[in-house]
Amino acid sequence: MNLFKNRTFSLFVSGSIITIMGDAFLDFALALYILKLTGSASKFAFILTLAVIPNIVLGPIAGVIVDRLDKKKILVGFDLIRGVVLVLFIALSSKGSLGITGIYIMAIIFGICSVIYQPCVSTVIPHILEREDLVKGNMIYRTALQIGQIIAPMIAALIYHSKGIEFVIGIDAVTFFLMAFIATLYKFKDIPNRKRNSVFSDIKSGITLFKDKQIFSLALNGMFSYVFVLPLFTVGMPFIIKNIFNGSDQNYSVVQTAISIASVSMVLTIPRINKKMNEIKALNFSMSGMLLGIASMLLLANGTIFSYLKENNLMMVVFLVVVSFVFYLSFANYGVFYLTISQKKVNSEFLGRYNSMLLMMFAIGSILGNFIFGYLYDTKIITYAVIVGIVGMIIKFALNTLVKPIEEPVSELSLNSD
């Protein structure tokens, strides 16, 4: 089936490209802006942490809201809210420089919005596509997001240096308003009505899903990506380039662009992997590539190699581009199969609660990971961070042995019948 014949899917993918470009602009510029203000990896990590705290506090109730309310209204409403918030920040910052306190406030507000918005977005594809189209649909969607991120870093570096942080914030605001309009055109599949329980009962049913050993193992696998693996790159890459190797903003943008290209390249690898193995084996295969990328960074422990890269800017960028490409291509493959397994495993009417609980676990993992790697990188000994990343991958492999191929979706009702 040509999935783009599905009008809602086409709108969702195209709109997502627009909004992810705006977000990538802002994320890239904020990373440079914060490091310029503070010069500290741990303080940069603290900003990242603020954005995910609402997931921990509001996660369970957010899932109930997503499953109870009209998803189109949630998407439109929160796009509009975030657009308005950014416009207000531009107005306030025009009266003075945007300091670190303003960044703190912005991170918290966006974190509160995301705690409802992101679980809702995660339910869109299962509500507009058939079960057999999920792998292809997830691949196309995630590839589209990465296309936006390929374009964004280079342009963001130029805009940030020529126009400043306020102009970048304005671009992101426009993308939110545009996405809100596009979301009004979505049409979702009808879902059979079920008896409406109390809010407390719905929260409990979301938690009950995690009694399933495979779901819980899968959730921990994803959580540990945020504790032990992703911060190695998200916290570490700008710090390694700017503070360890004294590289430029353009060096960082080149590596970020390579990361996005790697993620888009999954459109070439996933169909081949999907033909040769089931989703569980595909996870293991993808994690092997992630481990290879992380282990390659141990080369920086060699004094000769480190000194050579520090003296040769071009080779430093080439090395980090290759390492990042290997890791992020594998992580992109992993992400598609991980998401597909989750969507097949959980009944669609429980996806909001499941995704919000999953995001809550990811948020906890992000807080732990950001602090751990912020501290490790502030020691300026990269090897410590790499070893933690390798240990994390070993744990993920162990957890994956508990997850079996999925046949029927799990719901709170099916768990109670066991």
Write down the pLDDT at residue 198: 63
The predicted-structure confidence for 347-361, as pLDDT tens digits, reads as follows 766 777 787 788 788
Residue 412 falls inside a structural domain: no
Do 55 and 138 meet the contact criterion of CB atoms below 8 Å apart? no
Residue 196 falls inside a structural domain: no
Residue 221 falls inside a structural domain: yes
What is the number of alpha carbons within 13 Å of residue 281 lying toward its C-beta? 7
Write down the pLDDT at residue 354: 80
Write down the pLDDT at residue 121: 82
Write down the pLDDT at residue 66: 81
Residue 123 falls inside a structural domain: yes
Residue 410 falls inside a structural domain: no
Alpha-carbon Rg for the chain, nearest whole angstrom, is 21
Write down the pLDDT at residue 310: 92
Write down the pLDDT at residue 379: 85
Write down the pLDDT at residue 175: 87
The CATH number given to whatever domain includes residue 150 is 1.20.1250.20
The predicted-structure confidence for 94-124, as pLDDT tens digits, reads as follows 666 566 777 778 778 888 888 888 888 878 8
pTM over 0.75: no
Write down the pLDDT at residue 406: 60
**CA 232 to chain centroid:** 14
Average pLDDT, the chain: 82
Number of structural domains (the chain) is 1
Write down the pLDDT at residue 113: 84
Q: How far is CA 20 from CA 155, 325, 385, in A?
A: 14, 20, 29
Write down the pLDDT at residue 409: 52
Distance from first CA to last CA of the chain, Å, rounded?
36
The segments of the chain whose pLDDT lies below 50 read: 412-418
Residue span of the structural domain in which 343 resides: 7-187+202-405
Whole-angstrom Cα distance, residue 412 to residue 407? 16
